[in-house]
Structure 1
Amino acid sequence: MSSEMWDFDIFGDLYFEKAVNGFLTDLFTNWKDKSCCHEATVVLFSRTYYDAKNKNAFPEDHRDHIQQDYKGRFYEDFYNVVVQNERREDWMSLLVTIKTIFIQYPKLVRLLESDGFPRACNSTAAQGNYLESINLSFNVFDKHYINRNFERTGQMTVVITPGVGVFEVDRQLMTLTKQRMIDNGKWFNQGNICSRCAFPQVLDQNYF
């Protein structure tokens, strides 16, 4: 849910509309046509940057949640769980829920004025919590063998982004993510809803 989600493409559509009315609608229709019985968890994630010089600008009981990047900017990561471990015959009703959250999202991540908090802005896709969200799904997959449901097999993470596939990431976190993928045999797919990239793979820019 980076700032590009509120931008328009060359055809006049919001990137959020392309994600919901395009990608997710086609995906859920395909699931229904093929009688798939997937168990899915949907999480909306983003990073909020604050215009602050130090942590004293934040409420005292909230300072532990604030982090600082390599440029010295203060930020906070948000993860909004829409559904968790759900199975449905028809997933189209979920689109209404996602659209409702989209309207409320600026308030949920403190992009609007919030008591005691500095002025905030949404990050771009390149500067967001991309690897953090992937590792969040890996945390769930690490325990896949506990109380395993044999009605379903296989696990996959799908990341939908309005970015072009270039991300500014922490070097140590990138190394950790790669190692977790190798050790546990996990992988993820990425869906770019922006214009077609000139390169086929995800590019990471390391700053630490």
Structure 2
Amino acid sequence: MAAITPKHIQKVCTLWVHEDNFSKEDAVFNVGCFPDGSITTGSLVQVVAVKEATAVRDFQPATGKPHKDGSSGVKKEGSAVKSAPGDSIQKKHDSSGPVVLGENGTSLESDISPEMKAKHPGLQISLSRTIANLFGFRSRMQVLVSLADEALHSASHAEISFRDEYLARADMWRMAVSELSQKSVYKGQKLLFMGTIKATVKNVYVRQKKARSAYFSGATKPIFRSESARYILFIQMSKEMWDFDAEGSGEIMFSKVIHGFLPDLFKRWARMNARHLVSIILFTRVEYDRNMSTHIKPTKLDHSSLSAHRDDKDTRDFYRVVVSEMASDKWIHILGQLKREFKLFLRDVSILKNPNFEDRASDAQDVSTDGNVPEWIIAGKPSTAMRGNILEAINLASSQFSKDYIDRDLVRTGISVVVVTPGTGVFEVNYDMLKLTTDTLVGNGIGIDLVALSRMPLHSVPLFKYRNPLIKAAVPADNLPASFEDENTPRQTF
């Protein structure tokens, strides 16, 4: 059965602008202006400013003197115009005019009361001062009021932002139902829920396009964005981080982070007046030659932390906290600290004290006879981004917030993890770790944003490559490639 569309009913009315002491409603409407009953309480109407052509006075030329910006000296439509005797003012209705409230509609919440009708007999429609200033309406101007189609002017989704308070998902749902459902919403609208929770409508979308206002129907999706969240930024310090960007600006990859991505991110937060807590962690996987790692004392390199890796190499994961829960408005200090840590990070993870030097130092005679033993040696080097410990880093962050409900911060809402990698977004991972990390993220409801500094490949990323355990179990160990070992891929039994 085809949907019944409302009849095209419209009328030119005189707009009033009221303060809060006059009425708390956004729109006050006199239903008596439409005696046929086409518009009633709860109807969705469209309010459009009537264009008024400027009047030409006897002392004013027909074409105004152009300004520096090229615009004419004649007042534009929508501004106040006072006509001289004998002049005519041409009026026309244009639904695409520059000043339109309910270009996507406004909902009439209540009819004018009988007392208000007796006190203000000339009142036809009145809008609150907030809406009038936001959309450029003036008091006593002519507007065109028409019935609007809910299906045509319903918002597909609306963005609501809040900060300095904790909101559970139940609170978000109750706010959407109580303050927005079956009402008109507009960009910049202030919301107050239960007298304490404050929020602002940032953007309204109709059919995936931005609009100034719209009708919040049952199919509209509310999107809540916290401006006081906690951000964990993981920066993968793989060996590509020190490579030059041959296809771009020619700078090293880390410069793209410190001079490009992070400053743009912090400046965007500043423009939004957001106040996040930021933690930055550098992480990498260092590969050691297996022959060298066996000669290093366990006291200097804990072999319990070493994992057997492919290509006859032992690996060890390193993490360094640069800043912990620092306010995002101190981003200049954050970037300075990050630059200082970058200078020392590669040295700290690659160089270890030579155990042979300590053995000889214990014997003064050996030191005197052989002074060519170095005190420090380069024991390892960072792995590539593809073979890095990205899942371990993500799992570390998700495990940290798995008990977030204990001693909850009541001025912060939301946890976001951002991983910056110099690679293309393709990773060789362990199947068991991939499954564990996936279950942890789904259980805690934490989102992951991946920022790849290299050019995107010709396929979708991120892409995690792993050895299927069922296929792995069916293939003899002697026939497996050297890049995957038995310890890296678990076997499942059914």
- Calculate the TM-score normalised by the size of structure 1: 0.92
Residue of structure 1 in register with 2:287 after alignment: 49
Residue of structure 1 in register with 2:133 after alignment: none
Matched residues in 2 for 1:113 and 1:146: separation?
40
Residue of structure 2 in register with 1:58 after alignment: 296
Q: What SS does structure 2 have at the residue aligned with 1:156?
A: strand
CA-CA distance at 1:144 after TM superposition? 1.1
Asked whether 1:2 is paired with 2:238, we answer: yes
Matched residues in 1 for 2:385 and 2:273: separation?
33
Structure 1: gaps of 5 or more residues: none
CA-CA distance at 1:118 after TM superposition? 6.6
CA-CA distance at 1:129 after TM superposition? 0.6
Matched residues in 2 for 1:183 and 1:176: separation?
11
| 1:158-173 equivalences in 2 (<5 Å) | 158-173=418-433
The AA in structure 2 aligned to 1:65 is: S
Q: Give the greater-gyration-radius structure (CA).
A: 2
Asked whether 1:78 is paired with 2:314, we answer: no
Residue of structure 2 in register with 1:188 after alignment: 448
Residue of structure 2 in register with 1:144 after alignment: 404
Alignment equivalent of 2:381, drawn from 121, 125, 143: 121
Q: What SS does structure 1 have at the residue aligned with 2:385?
A: coil
Q: Deviations over 1:186-207 (max 9, x none)?
A: 2200001111332333111114
Matched residues in 2 for 1:55 and 1:196: separation?
36
Q: Deviations over 1:6-52 (max 9, x none)?
A: 00112211100001110001011111222211112110000110112
* Partners of 1:28 and 1:90 within 8 A in 2: no
Asked whether 1:201 is paired with 2:439, we answer: no
Asked whether 1:68 is paired with 2:308, we answer: yes
Matched residues in 2 for 1:93 and 1:33: separation?
18
Matched residues in 2 for 1:153 and 1:107: separation?
38
Asked whether 1:102 is paired with 2:342, we answer: yes
Q: What SS does structure 1 have at the residue aligned with 2:388?
A: coil
| Distance 1:50-1:85 versus aligned 2 partners, 3 A rule | same
Residue of structure 2 in register with 1:130 after alignment: 390
The AA in structure 2 aligned to 1:205 is: K
Matched residues in 2 for 1:194 and 1:60: separation?
37
Q: What SS does structure 1 have at the residue aligned with 2:340?
A: helix
Matched residues in 2 for 1:125 and 1:153: separation?
32
Q: What SS does structure 1 have at the residue aligned with 2:455?
A: coil
For the aligned residues, what is the CA RMSD?
Answer: 1.7
Matched residues in 1 for 2:339 and 2:378: separation?
27
* Partners of 1:41 and 1:83 within 8 A in 2: yes
The AA in structure 2 aligned to 1:58 is: I
Deviates more, 1:115-124 or 1:165-174: 115-124
| Distance 1:20-1:118 versus aligned 2 partners, 3 A rule | closer
Residue of structure 1 in register with 2:154 after alignment: none
The AA in structure 2 aligned to 1:82 is: V
The AA in structure 1 aligned to 2:348 is: L
| Distance 1:16-1:54 versus aligned 2 partners, 3 A rule | closer
Deviates more, 1:198-207 or 1:101-110: 198-207
Q: What SS does structure 2 have at the residue aligned with 1:36?
A: coil
* Partners of 1:57 and 1:118 within 8 A in 2: no
CA-CA distance at 1:126 after TM superposition? 0.5
Query: Which of the pair is proportionally richer in strand?
Result: 2
Matched residues in 1 for 2:271 and 2:460: separation?
29
* Partners of 1:159 and 1:191 within 8 A in 2: yes
The AA in structure 1 aligned to 2:392 is: E
Runs of 4+ in 1 over 4 A off after TM superposition: none
Structure 2: gaps of 5 or more residues: 1-236, 356-376, 468-488, 490-494
Query: Which of the pair is proportionally richer in helix?
Result: 1
Higher relative contact order (CA 8 A, sep 6+): 1
- Calculate the TM-score normalised by the size of structure 2: 0.40
